[in-house]
């Protein structure tokens, strides 16, 4: 395996060997057709254990890196009302500066690309806003290149774009970022694998149990059906919840296009317990 | 936004943290949870392993815990941003936020320095993220396990052992004359996949 392949979200040699042996009799490079066939044949019953609420299964062989990185023993259910995890970390004004939410103003010049606004509300499953909490994002630049030394595919870095931002939600649970639309990028899962354009999101709720890291996608991306990470969410309705909505009212003439991405955090919190849930 | 018949909103699905979080998520002093120079500081460290027994060099661990006095309120100020240039500064070394975040090194190793959790919640809650992991995993590192702990008591011995941080020093590093857990170095490995005796117990909160 070339160093270049190792560099791009690729599995180690052991994982690739074991996954290929388990999933396909064919030898040689893993093709898109093979991955697509695995995606199509992934057993639905396996995909949605009770209570999973649309989350991807951790054991999803079309995403080769998952093969050796998921537990085989069942998770142990904790229902302890005294669990520390029913509370969680807090953040404040010292942690986030106002300009941290504008990824286009972190360098002396303007980044190349399509300027966008991404905004939405962070809610718990009861629809209550998650207030004053930390939202972190990171993404590739307009050419599909991350500012990371292990990402070396031949697309240009942008000296005016790093691609990392932070915000605190307001009293309504609302966050708002200004950034540029990221490009799709190649990775090493299989031959000619490309990730659909996405922005990574990291979210905190009022409880550590509500922690979420996810990826926001853009509507109509032709790469959706080819991508094992997006398709790891096997419920089509749940996949839709990963796709931002283009909102023309958020677009600003001669300036930016607007996308709305609302986020609902899973998991119990202390407040639920207090209310007898 | 869609809702189930029961009225609960459908959650946003998880996706992997991927391999390229390194310039965004880690922050300076993310593993230095204890106030600077605090005499009760404990070091907890270990490796993250995959199902082939290989260390994982691109995992991200987060830690949340009760303060030594039992408080679960936490405090802001883990990250701190310099408003003049946007750089992450990390903690000011005075307060205790209860929150830590550490990426594994190139050899899969991580280390955290924190204050010991209280006797009624004697564990660090650990949230594991990694490329290849489509949905994060929770576990706990128990520093001073009680036989009455409901989670530990529910587990067979070989599974229970995966949640116990192992004290590595002989106690000499601790502060003398204090009750319970003070000072020390603890080892806690996380194994994402393996047999019952190797794979870490991971938790599901309902």
**A198 is a catalytic site residue:** yes
The 3-state secondary structure of B114-183, one letter per residue? ECCCCCCCCEEEEEEEECCCCCCEEEEEECCCCCCCHHHHCCCHHHHHHHECEECCCCCCCCCCCCCCCC
A6: confidence class by pLDDT, cuts 50, 70, 90: very low
How far A256 CA lies from chain B's nearest CA (Å)? 23
A188: helix, coil or strand?
A: coil
Catalytic residue among A115, A153, A200, A211: A200
Q: What is the pLDDT of residue A179?
A: 98
Catalytic annotation present for A153: no
> Each residue of B118-170: pLDDT tens digit?
999 999 999 999 999 999 999 999 998 888 899 999 999 999 999 999 999 76
pLDDT at residue B2, as a whole number: 55
Pick from B9, B98, B201: which is nearest to A125 by CB? B9
Residue labelled with tokens 């899969």: B108
A63 annotated active-site: no
The pLDDT of residue A76 is: 97
Give the one of B20, B135, B136 whose C-beta lies nearest to A148's C-beta.
B20
Mean pLDDT for A3-21 is 40
Give Rg (Cα) of chain A: 20
Q: How does pLDDT run across A100-117, given as a tens digit for each residue?
A: 999 999 999 999 999 999
What pTM does this model have? Answer: 0.91
Q: Least CB-CB distance to A84: which of B19, B121, B135?
A: B121
The answer to whether the CB atoms of B206 and A15 lie below 8 A apart is no
* Catalytic residue status for A146: yes
């Amino acid at each position: 395996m070339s160093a270049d392949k190792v560099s791009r979200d690729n599995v180690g040699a052991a994982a690739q060997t074991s996954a290929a042996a388990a999933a396909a009799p064919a030898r040689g490079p893993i093709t898109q057709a093979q991955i697509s066939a695995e995606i199509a044949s992934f057993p639905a019953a396996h995909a949605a254990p009770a209570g999973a609420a649309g989350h991807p299964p951790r054991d999803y062989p079309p995403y080769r890196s998952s093969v050796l990185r998921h537990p085989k023993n069942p998770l142990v259910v904790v229902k302890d009302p005294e669990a520390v995890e029913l509370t969680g970390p807090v953040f404040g004004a010292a942690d986030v500066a106002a300009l941290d939410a504008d990824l286009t103003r972190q360098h002396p010049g303007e980044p190349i690309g399509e300027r966008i606004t991404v905004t939405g509300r962070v809610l718990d499953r009861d629809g209550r806003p998650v207030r004053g909490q930390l939202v972190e994002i990171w993404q590739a630049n307009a050419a599909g290149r991350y500012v990371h030394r292990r990402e070396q595919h031949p697309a240009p870095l942008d000296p005016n774009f790093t691609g990392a931002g932070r915000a605190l939600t307001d009293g309504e649970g609302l966050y708002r970022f200004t950034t540029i639309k990221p490009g799709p990028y190649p990775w090493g899962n299989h031959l000619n694998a490309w990730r659909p354009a996405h922005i990574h999101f990291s979210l905190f709720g009022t409880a550590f149990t509500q922690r979420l890291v996810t990826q926001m996608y853009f509507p109509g991306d032709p790469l959706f059906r080819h991508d094992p990470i997006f398709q790891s969410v096997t419920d089509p309705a749940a996949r839709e919840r990963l796709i931002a909505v283009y909102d023309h009212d958020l677009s600003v003439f001669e300036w930016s296009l607007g996308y709305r991405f609302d986020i609902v955090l899973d998991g119990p919190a202390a407040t639920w317990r207090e209310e007898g849930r | 936004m869609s809702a189930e018949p029961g009225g609960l909103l459908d959650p946003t699905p998880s996706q992997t943290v991927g391999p390229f979080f390194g310039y965004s998520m880690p922050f300076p002093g993310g593993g230095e949870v204890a106030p600077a120079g605090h005499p009760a500081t404990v070091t907890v460290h270990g490796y993250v392993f995959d199902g082939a027994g290989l260390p994982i060099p691109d995992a991200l661990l987060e830690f949340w815990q009760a303060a030594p006095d039992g408080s679960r309120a936490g405090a802001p100020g883990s990250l701190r941003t310099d408003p003049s240039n946007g750089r992450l500064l990390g903690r000011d070394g005075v307060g205790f936020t209860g929150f830590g975040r550490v990426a594994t090194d190139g050899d899969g190793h991580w280390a955290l320095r924190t204050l010991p959790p209280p006797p009624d919640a004697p564990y660090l809650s650990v949230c594991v993220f990694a490329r290849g992991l489509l949905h994060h995993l929770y576990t706990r590192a128990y520093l001073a396990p009680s036989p009455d702990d409901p989670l530990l008591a529910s587990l067979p011995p070989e599974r229970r052992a995966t949640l116990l941080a192992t004290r590595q020093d002989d106690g000499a590093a601790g502060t003398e004359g204090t009750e319970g857990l003070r000072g020390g170095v603890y080892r806690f490995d996380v194994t994402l996949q393996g047999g019952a005796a190797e794979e870490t117990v991971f938790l599901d909160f309902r």
